[in-house]
Structure 1
Amino acid sequence: MSGIGMEKAAAIADRVEAFVRDVVIPYEKDARIEVHGHGPSEELVMEMRAKAREAGVLTPHILPDGSHLNQRETALVLIRSGLSPLGPLACNTMAPDEGNMYLLGKVGTPEQKVRFLDPLVRGEARSAFFMTEPATDGGAGSDPSMMQTLCHQDGDHWVINGRKAFITGAQGAKVGIVMAKSQDGACMFLVDLPDPAIRIERVLETIDSSMPGGHSVVAIDNLRVPASQMLGASGEGFQYAQIRLSPARLSHCMRWLGGAIRSQEIASAYACKRQAFGKPLVDHEGVGFMLAENMIDLKQAELMIDWCASVLDTGSLGTAESSMAKVAVSEALMRVADKCVQVMGGTGVSGDTVVEQIFREVRAFRIYDGPTEVHKWSLAKKIKRDFLKAAGA
């Protein structure tokens, strides 16, 4: 991906940061944000997006001609949008919409783009990606090959049945991408939401609270989808999932790096101002060293993101590289968030600052888009596979 150049992308990022700091951060105490996973209300999201549109920073990673910033350029912008948990919502750089827009931009037909992609890019609609399934059903979680949701063709339609779980933003979404399994393999379908055949059984109570609509368990009963709304052909679903996978993993890293940077800012200011035992907290080695370690982790996370983005910009799928980045960044940001809470003591575990929320969100990030252990297992398989190939076995 050629992109527009890092200098121009940095200018976009600067505008995004100014908007997030000046306009979005004051919304963090808004009563329209529900904790325990249900997220900000639709009214709040659209109110912030109207202001982002006015400021010229709505969907800033996609240019007016429909072209996409390359991954290194996207990182500059998404890190800044993540300085507030509400920033990606306001700027339309949030998951799962950002990943879904990327996928549709890559593989959607012209008609599919007009109907399903354009409203997302304009910030007028939210989307949901229906892949993971309930563990109680033996369905797909970190292992998509376990998918139990089935589809079959009936004339010029496909019929889909199954259950899905942890579907981010399903409640309130207008666009859905549904994965199901046919006799040919995995398939992806574009659907208009809401649809009576897609029923939300419950919205889960989760540790994070930044996603509008929360995370739902969903039943799909005889959903009929026109064949024209299939992405690609029957059996190509996993191929398209791979196109989405690495950039989506990496964009999570970008956004939550922004959140961790903000936590470090707040914890550092607290440590420099708060007096204890005759001097500022930061002058106590136990505190100052934690903040110094955070500086190191933040820089390493930034460099890891830039390295992986550079790989993706060559056109590589970057499967192993994105796994490495996801593990390294999520674990580093967890350390940063935890130390920020620790430095701030009682204030750190309270809702008086956003540090407590960012800690919760980053903890969930270690699970989303693949737990650390799954990525390590995948990398270990690659090590063995590469060894056997080199040995001629």
Structure 2
Amino acid sequence: MTSASPGTVRPAEPGVVGAFTRGLAIFRPIALLYAAILAWVHREDMNRPIAAVAVFVILLIWSVIASWRRTVTTRMAVIDLTLATLGILATSLAFPREAVVSGALTLPGIWSSSGVVAAAIRGGARGGLIGAAVISVADLVSVIKPNFGTIHNIVLLILLGWLIGLSTTLARESQRLLEVSVRAEESYAERERLARIVHDGVLQTLTFINRRGNEIGGAAQELATLAADQERSLRDLVSGRPRVVAAGDTTDLAVVLRGLADERVTISAPAEAVMLPKDRAGELRAAVVAALDNVRAHAGPDARAWVLVEDLGGEVVVTVRDNGVGMPPGRPDAAAAEGRLGMASSIRGRMRDLGGDATWATAPGRGCTVVLTAPKDLEPLAPRRPGRHTPAAGTTPAARSMRES
């Protein structure tokens, strides 16, 4: 049986679990009344009736509190089981030992099953069996020599705890699957809505730019080609068609990134090829492009950028450094909170999808250094904890030399 930690919000329980909880709230006082009637009928057999009175007063107080709360927690289930156990053991105080051994009813009677039901509601089939085991042990200890009635009651308790626990477990699992299905349906509907927006707006604009660029010719054709590439990528995205990359289809990351060099961007890479699967190289290139776009947009008109590619054997590290105006500490997190997802999604999100990470080192007036780290394996790895294996910004030897140059 588990309990929510303080401050957490427990998800709504399934209807079946709620019905069992409400039924238990009604069952406790009714079962206690029945047990009290039986005790009154056999009061002449008691040698210490005050013990029976004490047991019923305690059980009454708890039944009122538990039924008033109309919920079941792990603590409440433990209290139910504890009080039932003590009540069963107290039977030997209220009745003579001979009467108990001969099969006298325990003081709590059927109220003892409240703890079994509570444990089953809270802990599922396992909790129900544990609750039944606790009450069964108490029954066996109290009578010493179990008779047929004792064994019969124990079997009923085990079946009760297991069946109610199994019902609550299945109900919770069904609700979980239903919630997953509803979220998937909502996600699909949102994707369809965004696809319509992209199709009616961005795709039509890119198509127009492509057509007009080809009509104008000259330098505009480069713009037309870029628009056509982006149109194809967006169509694949909104249609849900995955990009198929053949197994073993690799490329040199250095060659891929050298195409980004211009009068403001310098690319430095090892003399040896840095071979990566094409899809991973493409994602790394996209992250570098996003970092360079940030340099052009925010570093200042005269800022320059240097891109360094390092092959560390099992992973690659790409460092993007600029000599621009820099940015305040904590800006990546603040930008994500403002809905500006360039750093959080286009850069860090891509790297974490590859099993790596992205880190920033910056200060106002001192430029910015972005370190992109990703494993070279074909299969994406699980995202790693930042700072555990991922080099911090500017900590690799080559990155430090770039920063100091």
Settle same-fold status: TM greater than 0.5: no
Higher RCO structure, 1 or 2 (CA under 8 Å, sep 6+):
1
Question: TM-score, normalized by length of structure 1?
Answer: 0.24
Higher strand share: 1
Bigger Rg over Cα: 2
